[in-house]
Amino acid sequence: DGGITQSPKYLFRKEGQNVTLSCEQNLNHDAMYWYRQDPGQGLRLIYYSQIVNDFQKGDIAEGYSVSREKKESFPLTVTSAQKNPTAFYLCASSITIHQETQYFGPGTRLLVL
Amino acid sequence: AQSVTQPDIHITVSEGASLELRCNYSYGATPYLFWYVQSPGQGLQLLLKYFSGDTLVQGIKGFEAEFKRSQSSFNLRKPSVHWSDAAEYFCAGDYGGATNKLIFGTGTLLAVQP
């Protein structure tokens, strides 16, 4: 079955630590996205990538970094510069970047120790 | 600015009753519109979408939505709610441009009473 996987399901970050969230898709989609979800705020776009080796900042990119070395993979690193990282992180993908349906992974909950 | 609004934060309905969740999009160019459902601690599942054409859209799990340009609305409906429908529902719009960015409403949390 095709789909999007995210790991781990829960992640704990210590002060000053960088952590990386994994997102993999086998849908053969060109475009991938990272969203952050906070209670009562809906979802906000962190970064997106329309094709391999390309990515762009979204609305709240500060304190985050990404890479897109393979079509299937779009890992998100939460750096120590992100002062309020506790949130639910969702990865999504779509066939292309242009007004296509986005499909979501199961999410990763990041907590700060 | 482009926006999607869900006026109701929480809604409680009795099992078997009908349901309507409201969604309004900002006036101007009509976005592509989506409804997603999220169970606690889970990702978002697509219920239905509207791109163009017939304004009444059928989705999964017995849901439907009606696009009304005159009211800038895309309300989600279900004739008879089941206890398993309890979840959070998100309306989203894609206004196009270079990013394919989805603009999400803040969500409506649905509780179902037995």
Q: How far apart are CA A67 and CA A76, in angstroms?
A: 7
Furthest-apart CA atoms within chain A: distance in Å: 39
Please give the mean pLDDT across all residues of chain A. Answer: 93
Residue of A nearest to B37 (CA): A104
Residue of A nearest to B94 (CA): A99
Q: Given CB atoms, is B98 within the 8 Å cutoff of chain A? A: yes
Please give the mean pLDDT across all residues of chain B. Answer: 93
pLDDT in tens, A69-109: 999 999 999 999 898 999 999 999 999 887 789 999 999 99
CB contacts < 8 A, A to B, total: 63
Say whether pLDDT at A1 is over 80. no
A42 neighbors B107 (Cβ within 8 angstroms): yes
Average pLDDT over every residue of A50-67 = 95
Say whether pLDDT at B101 is over 90. no
B11 neighbors B100 (Cβ within 8 angstroms): no
CA B89 to chain centre: 6
| Residue numbers of A between 28 and 87 with CB closer than 8 Å to B | 31, 40-45, 48, 50, 56, 58-59
Q: How far apart are CA A105 and CA A73, in angstroms?
A: 12
Structure tokens at A97: 């970047």
Average pLDDT over every residue of B55-74 = 96
